[in-house]
Amino acid sequence: MRVIVVGGGVAGASVAYFVARGGAQVTVVDAGVHAASHVPSALLNPVRGQSGQVDGRAPQGLALTWALVRELEAAGWPIPHGQEGVLRPVPDERTRAKFARNLPPALPHRWLTPGEVPVALSPGWPHALLIPGGGWLDGAAFCAALLGASGAEVVRGRVTAWDARSVTLEGGSGLHGDAVVWCGGAVGSGWAGEEGAQRAGTLLTLDRPVTTLPVSFGAYLAPGAGGTGVLGATFEAPTPTWQEPTLPAASLRWLLNRGDALADLRGVRVTGRWSGTRLSGLVAGRQSDGLWRLSGLGSKGFLLGPLLARHVAGDVLRTGVP
């Protein structure tokens, strides 16, 4: 069976990995730009946002992503990461109660008092939730490892048209397969002229990690590859179509303020910025036109992307050659 995957972010790379593991021959066509998955330090954080929602698939997704990291590293694909947990400080009793209501017993967690918190937080956080199974990873390295280990042929180029069995690349050349899986993410959806919930955000890269484990509320501070750190958030106003992400001065100020509210940033040097756009509105499966699709992973690309990709890949393989 020959499978063509459009997009080599975490969705496409994970689909490629699982269909290849199932015995298919895989070609990934990737434009190589604007991949949200190249976020320098992605959190594996099952307790989401300021409401503390937990997706029912999060414990399984978390376990699978870490298992993949171990498997890929053992096969010789290094992936900078840290699995020391994620800390979610909460500003008041009301937020703590909201988080507590949403926490499933199946997700190991522990509430810490300010004295027990393992990092130096700024004042104003009466409680902090530690999720020991969480952590961070380098997004680009994870995708590169999945693609490399899949053995997929990777074609650099932009697909301009596609159907259930073939794709056409810019320039007019074509590829044919038994199945096409579309994983074009936010930018691909924009190029396709689709409307959807797009949201841009920025990570500032820092010369050192401010905290030894990721800390997240409003924005996040996390370690990054090679002894660096990041301060980031997806915080720009949502837009219905893809736009080149920018960092207006007001956003920079907002981000630095949120970072300062989490921990003391004095003496930390900003070494660069990475901006990206995520797409919400999950679609995972076969469409009415026969095309397969995995997109709209929102802010949970690394938490749920590989798990959903394994389901989609299994269905593609089971459906087989039409």
Ligand X SMILES: Cc1cc2nc3c(=O)[nH]c(=O)nc-3n(C[C@H](O)[C@H](O)[C@H](O)COP(=O)(O)OP(=O)(O)OC[C@H]3O[C@@H](n4cnc5c(N)ncnc54)[C@H](O)[C@@H]3O)c2cc1C
Token pair 């459009």: residue: 6
Q: Which of 138, 192, 171 is nearest to 6 (CA)?
A: 192
The CB-of-290 to ligand X minimum distance in angstroms stands at 18
Q: How far is CA 277 from CA 189, 208, 217, 232, in A?
A: 11, 25, 19, 13
Query: What tokens does 167 get?
Result: 């794709």
Please say which residue, 66 or 267, places its beta carbon nearer to ligand X. Answer: 66
Please say which residue, 121 or 214, places its beta carbon nearer to ligand X. Answer: 214
The CB-of-44 to ligand X minimum distance in angstroms stands at 7
Nearest-angstrom CA–CA distance, 274 and 140: 12
Please say which residue, 30 or 138, places its beta carbon nearer to ligand X. Answer: 30
Q: Where along the sequence are the contacts to ligand X (CB under 6 A)?
A: 6-12, 29-37, 39, 42-43, 158-159, 183-188, 191, 201, 203, 232, 234, 276-278, 295, 297-303
The CB-of-155 to ligand X minimum distance in angstroms stands at 9
Please say which residue, 94 or 253, places its beta carbon nearer to ligand X. Answer: 253
The CB-of-26 to ligand X minimum distance in angstroms stands at 15
Residue 200: count other Cβ atoms within 10 Å of its Cβ: 23
Q: How far is CA 205 from CA 70, 256, 275, 298, in A?
A: 25, 12, 11, 22
Please say which residue, 229 or 301, places its beta carbon nearer to ligand X. Answer: 301
Is the separation of the CB atoms in 308 and 293 below 8 Å?
Answer: no
Q: Which of 231, 212, 188 is nearest to 40 (CA)?
A: 231
Is the separation of the CB atoms in 125 and 90 below 8 Å?
Answer: yes
Please say which residue, 55 or 315, places its beta carbon nearer to ligand X. Answer: 55
The CB-of-296 to ligand X minimum distance in angstroms stands at 7
The CB-of-94 to ligand X minimum distance in angstroms stands at 25
Note the maximum CA span of the chain: 63
CA angle 44, 46, 52 (to 5 degrees): 135
Please say which residue, 184 or 196, places its beta carbon nearer to ligand X. Answer: 184
Please say which residue, 285 or 320, places its beta carbon nearer to ligand X. Answer: 285
Question: Phi, psi (5° rounding) for residue 223?
Answer: -65, 160
The CB-of-93 to ligand X minimum distance in angstroms stands at 27
Residue 132: count other Cβ atoms within 10 Å of its Cβ: 14
Nearest-angstrom CA–CA distance, 30 and 156: 5
The CB-of-7 to ligand X minimum distance in angstroms stands at 3
> Is 160 in a helix, a strand, or coil?
strand
